[in-house]
């Protein structure tokens, strides 16, 4: 009997570049053994990265599908696998499998819309893929507002790209904020939910949001105060996963599996599910 | 339908075992379990095995893949054993249904090829329950212990064993055993009626499951009874390990000293680290973990699978739970909420 390759068996990838983004976030470029992009994906989709002997974990793909050369993962150092990744040198091989999940509806529901992207901290990782996809297909979308906040200026992920590229493009309004005053910062100071309310966005916009659960909760309340409906807001979740195939049972919320039915959900759909995320 | 004198049961087992690996439920270490058949091994007198035959298709631990790490390079080593055809004899009707449930998880896209290979290799011969016990409630899930599924079904009546094929695989097995004699299909009608007379009287068999569907998902989830129901749960996970339909697993790496083995093993939603991530867990107390297990069996799974419940009424969790909590009590308590 010929056996098919099991979906749990990964491929080998090579980490070609590691960029230090913040004191605890690094961005890893990964290619296949042939030096090419390992697979195609949709913004918001994820992949399993692992180092044999250390463990396997799921990360969102932060590069845009329009990038033809490699996949990028922005990873915060916070656990076993991520600590190992932060300590590795470029040139090393890792294993990867994917892509997993549904991704943001960039070619359907988001198309033609004025977009409001809201991110907090490492929550920029999955939505950066959306932002760069929209930038590469500019004619397909309306205006692009980006609200991004972090603890401090140093904790803003992809700061160079934000300042050198996003801020300089027509049709993109970038609104940065940090939690507390600091010397070399003349921008906005305050938490993301309040800043979103202050900016008083037009309610015709479609919202894409990612950040810590507490930010999501208060930002959603703020958006609703402004008059946004839950069905205008998309967010992405991350729960513990082992298989990413909808079988190991870990990321089950209600009758959904975050790995295959998500990780992107429209917030009105989330309202029908148990509050276990 | 085929028949054989029960006195020749060991000859039948020997004939099956001569063709392929045979597992039968036999006693070892004080409990009934599916064991590789050896000459003279006797069927257990217990109604059912302590653990279901799930192990033969989804083992408690199994290697997925191996790695060699040398310097900065990784090589992948296929560790998979292609397996060989096998027969498992004596699976009860409840456990036979559990394979249909596991199939929906593992054989749905993307297919779990480890499970698929074992399902392809394995022939399941079920055995009708001639004396169901009071912890049995398979009837609540529409399972008939007098007419079990599987590739072939067997009945013991008086001094005779009757066998009937349900699938092509079962047909192939039975037709390869010349010691079986043909007989009439109605030969088991009497014993079936006797079984039904017992199941009629089983205290839990008429468990009412109306209202357990996706439409009442949030009602059941928000039922205040969960606090009381889960109060004494020790989080030992025994219910998940003896459950024929529990399929949650963990994936881990083990450094053998000669390379890395990536293996998977059964896991339990009852454990506090099941959903624990570096930044915390979304099910912080035993109440949430307890609720997850029962909600999954009674509400989430049927909601995703044409109304099929993730329980087969085998009664193992009723017998084994150290605090005597079980799915029947849970279903009855929640059921009150939707009436």
Structural domain boundaries enclosing A62:
11-100
CB count in 10 Å sphere of residue B208: 11
Residue in A182, A210, A253, A175 with CA at minimum distance from that of residue A43: A210
The answer to whether B80 contacts A3, with C-beta atoms less than 8 Å apart, is yes
CB count in 10 Å sphere of residue B282: 19
Q: Which residues of B29-52 are buried (b: 16+ CB within 10 A; e: fewer)?
A: eeebbbbebeeebebbeebbbbbb
Q: What is the pLDDT of residues B255-290, one digit of tens each?
A: 999 999 999 999 999 999 999 888 788 899 999 999
* Whether the Cβ atoms of residue A72 and residue A29 lie closer than 8 Å to each other: yes
CB-based burial of residue B324 (10 Å sphere; 0-12 exposed, 13-18 middle, 19+ buried)?
exposed
A124 shares its domain with A232: yes
**Within-domain flag for A250:** no
Give the Cα separation of A115 and B53 in Å (integer).
53
A69 shares its domain with A182: no
Residues in A closer than 8 angstroms to B84, CB to CB, are none
Reported as a pLDDT band with limits 50, 70 and 90, residue B206 is: confident
Give the Cα separation of B71 and A174 in Å (integer).
43
Least confident of A30-39, B94-103, B212-221, B281-290: B212-221
| Total domains in the fold of chain A | 2
* Joined tokens for residue A265: 């959900």
A181 shares its domain with A125: yes
Chain centroid to CA B335: how far?
Answer: 25
Reported as a pLDDT band with limits 50, 70 and 90, residue B338 is: low
**What residues of chain B, 72 to 101, have a C-beta less than 8 Å from chain A?**
72-76, 78, 80, 82
Average pLDDT, chain B: 94
**Within-domain flag for A253:** no
Q: What is the pLDDT of residues A68-101, one digit of tens each?
A: 999 999 999 998 999 999 999 999 999 999 999 9
Give the Cα separation of B123 and B28 in Å (integer).
23
How high is the pLDDT of residue B281? 87
Tell me the HSE value of A38 on the side-chain side, using a 13 A CA sphere. 28
> Where is the domain boundary, A48, A76, A100?
A100
What order do you get walking across the sheet with A25-32 strand by strand? Answer: A55-60, A46-51, A93-100, A11-22, A25-32, A71-76
Provide mean pLDDT across the span B315-324. 93
B186 Cβ partners below 8 Å, 6+ apart?
none
Provide mean pLDDT across the span B78-94. 94
* Whether the Cβ atoms of residue A95 and residue A22 lie closer than 8 Å to each other: no
* 3-class secondary-structure state, position B13: helix
Give the Cα separation of B149 and B166 in Å (integer).
7
Supply the CATH number for residue A179's domain. Answer: 3.40.50.80
Give the Cα separation of A236 and A91 in Å (integer).
31
**Within-domain flag for A265:** no
Q: Is A250 an 8 Å CB contact of chain B? A: yes
Reported as a pLDDT band with limits 50, 70 and 90, residue A1 is: very low
Average pLDDT, chain A: 94
Percent of chain B predicted with pLDDT > 90: 87
How high is the pLDDT of residue A271? 82
Supply the CATH number for residue A51's domain. Answer: 2.40.30.10
Q: What is the pLDDT of residues A136-167, one digit of tens each?
A: 999 999 999 999 999 999 999 999 999 999 99
| Residue B210: pLDDT over 80 | yes
* Joined tokens for residue A115: 């977009």
Query: Residues B273, B323, B217, CA angle at the centre, nearest 5°?
Result: 60
**Within-domain flag for A171:** yes
Provide mean pLDDT across the span B208-231. 88
- Taking the CA atoms of B125, B128, B134 and B140 in sequence, report the sign of the dihedral they define: positive
**Within-domain flag for A26:** yes
Least confident of A173-177, A238-242, B127-131, B304-308: A238-242
Residues in A closer than 8 angstroms to B223, CB to CB, are none
Whole-structure pTM over 0.90, yes or no? yes
Provide mean pLDDT across the span B92-114. 96
| Residue A3: pLDDT over 80 | no
Q: What is the pLDDT of residues B45-64, one digit of tens each?
A: 999 999 999 999 999 999 99
Residue in A77, A13, A22, A55 with CA at minimum distance from that of residue A241: A55
Cis peptide bond prior to B110, omega within 30° of 0: yes
Provide mean pLDDT across the span B84-88. 97
**What residues of chain B, 208 to 237, have a C-beta less than 8 Å from chain A?**
214, 217-218, 221
> Where is the domain boundary, A77, A100, A123?
A100
**Within-domain flag for A254:** no
**Within-domain flag for A153:** yes
Residues in B closer than 8 angstroms to A33, CB to CB, are none
Instruction: Give A136→chain B minimum CA distance, Å.
Output: 32
Provide mean pLDDT across the span B323-338. 86
Give the Cα separation of B38 and B18 in Å (integer).
11
| Residue A212: pLDDT over 60 | yes
CB count in 10 Å sphere of residue B339: 7
A142 shares its domain with A212: yes
Locate the chain B residue with the closest alpha carbon to A88. Answer: B72
A96 shares its domain with A134: no
* Whether the Cβ atoms of residue B87 and residue B122 lie closer than 8 Å to each other: yes
- Taking the CA atoms of A258, A259, A261 and A264 in sequence, report the sign of the dihedral they define: positive
A139 shares its domain with A229: yes
Interstrand relation of B21-28 and B2-5 (parallel, antiparallel or unpaired): unpaired
- Hey, which bits of A125-276 come out as E strands? 144-150, 172-178, 188-189, 206-210, 233-236, 252-253, 256-257, 264-266
How high is the pLDDT of residue A275? 84
Q: Is B269 an 8 Å CB contact of chain A? A: yes
| Residue A126: pLDDT over 80 | yes
| Residue B339: pLDDT over 70 | no
Nearest CB to A95: which of B74, B247, B278?
A: B74
A34 shares its domain with A59: yes
The DSSP line for B229-296 is HHTT-----HHHHH-SS---EEEEEEE-SSSEEEEEEE--TTSTTSS-BTTB-S--SHHHHHHHHHHI
Q: Is B275 an 8 Å CB contact of chain A? A: yes
| Residue B75: pLDDT over 50 | yes
Give me the residue spans of the domains in chain B: 2-201, 214-337
Nearest CB to B69: which of A53, A91, A252?
A: A53
**Within-domain flag for A29:** yes
* 3-class secondary-structure state, position A21: strand
CB-based burial of residue A182 (10 Å sphere; 0-12 exposed, 13-18 middle, 19+ buried)?
exposed
CB count in 10 Å sphere of residue A91: 13
């Amino acid at each position: 009997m010929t056996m098919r390759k099991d979906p749990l068996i990964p491929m080998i990838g090579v980490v070609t570049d590691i960029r230090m983004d913040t004191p605890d976030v690094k961005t890893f470029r990964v290619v296949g053994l042939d030096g090419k992009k390992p697979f195609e994906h949709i913004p918001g989709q994820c992949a399993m990265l692992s180092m044999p002997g250390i463990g396997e974990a799921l990360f969102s793909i932060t590069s845009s599908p329009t990038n033809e050369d490699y996949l990028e993962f922005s990873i915060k150092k916070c656990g076993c696998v991520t600590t190992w990744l932060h300590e590795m040198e470029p040139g090393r091989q890792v294993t990867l499998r994917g892509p997993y999940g549904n991704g943001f509806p960039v070619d359907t529901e988001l198309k033609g819309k004025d977009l409001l992207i809201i991110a907090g901290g490492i929550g920029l990782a999955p939505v950066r893929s959306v932002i760069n996809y929209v930038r590469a297909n500019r004619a397909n979308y309306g205006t692009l507002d980006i609200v991004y906040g972090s603890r401090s200026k140093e904790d803003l992920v992809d700061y160079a790209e934000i300042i050198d590229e996003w801020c300089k493009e027509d049709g993109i309004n970038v609104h940065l904020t940090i939690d507390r005053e600091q010397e070399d910062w003349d921008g906005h100071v305050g938490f993301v939910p309040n800043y979103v309310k202050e900016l008083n966005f037009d309610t015709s916009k479609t919202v894409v949001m990612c950040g810590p659960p507490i930010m999501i909760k208060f930002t959603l309340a703020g958006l609703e105060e402004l008059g946004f409906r839950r069905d205008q807001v998309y967010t992405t979740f991350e729960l513990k996963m082992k298989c990413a195939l909808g079988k190991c049972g870990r990321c089950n919320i209600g009758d959904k599996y975050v790995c295959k039915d998500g990780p992107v959900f429209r917030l009105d759909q989330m309202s029908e599910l148990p509050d276990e995320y | 339908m085929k028949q054989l004198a029960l006195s020749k049961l060991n000859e039948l087992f020997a004939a099956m075992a001569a063709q392929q690996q045979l597992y039968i439920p036999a006693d070892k270490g004080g409990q009934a379990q599916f064991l590789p058949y050896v000459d003279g091994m006797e069927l257990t007198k217990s109604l059912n095995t302590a653990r279901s035959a799930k192990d033969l298709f989804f083992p408690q631990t199994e290697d997925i893949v191996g790695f060699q790490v040398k310097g900065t390079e990784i090589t992948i080593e296929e560790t998979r054993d292609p397996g060989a055809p096998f027969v498992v004899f004596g699976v009860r009707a409840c456990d036979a249904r559990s394979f249909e449930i596991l199939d929906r998880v593992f054989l749905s896209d993307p297919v779990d090829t480890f499970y698929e290979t074992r399902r392809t290799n394995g022939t399941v011969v079920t055995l009708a329950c001639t004396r169901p016990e009071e912890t049995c409630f398979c009837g609540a899930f529409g399972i008939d212990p007098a007419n079990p599924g599987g590739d072939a079904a067997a009945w013991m009546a008086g001094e005779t064993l009757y066998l009937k094929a349900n699938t092509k695989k079962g047909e192939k097995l039975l037709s390869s055993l010349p010691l079986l004699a043909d007989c009439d299909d109605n030969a088991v009608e009497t014993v079936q009626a006797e079984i039904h007379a017992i199941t009629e009287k089983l205290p839990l068999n008429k468990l009412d499951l109306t209202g357990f569907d996706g439409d009442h998902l949030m009602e059941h989830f928000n039922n205040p009874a969960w606090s009381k129901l889960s109060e004494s749960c020790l989080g030992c996970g025994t219910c998940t390990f003896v459950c024929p339909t529990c399929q949650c697993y963990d994936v881990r790496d083990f450094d053998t000293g000669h390379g890395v083995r990536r293996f998977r093993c059964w896991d339990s939603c009852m454990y506090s680290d099941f959903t624990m991530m570096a930044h915390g867990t979304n099910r912080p107390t035993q109440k949430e973990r307890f609720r997850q297990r029962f909600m999954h069996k009674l509400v989430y799974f049927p909601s995703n699978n044409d109304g099929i419940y993730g329980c087969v009424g085998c009664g193992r969790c009723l017998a084994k739970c150290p605090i005597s909590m079980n799915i029947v009590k849970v279903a009855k308590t929640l059921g009150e909420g939707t009436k």
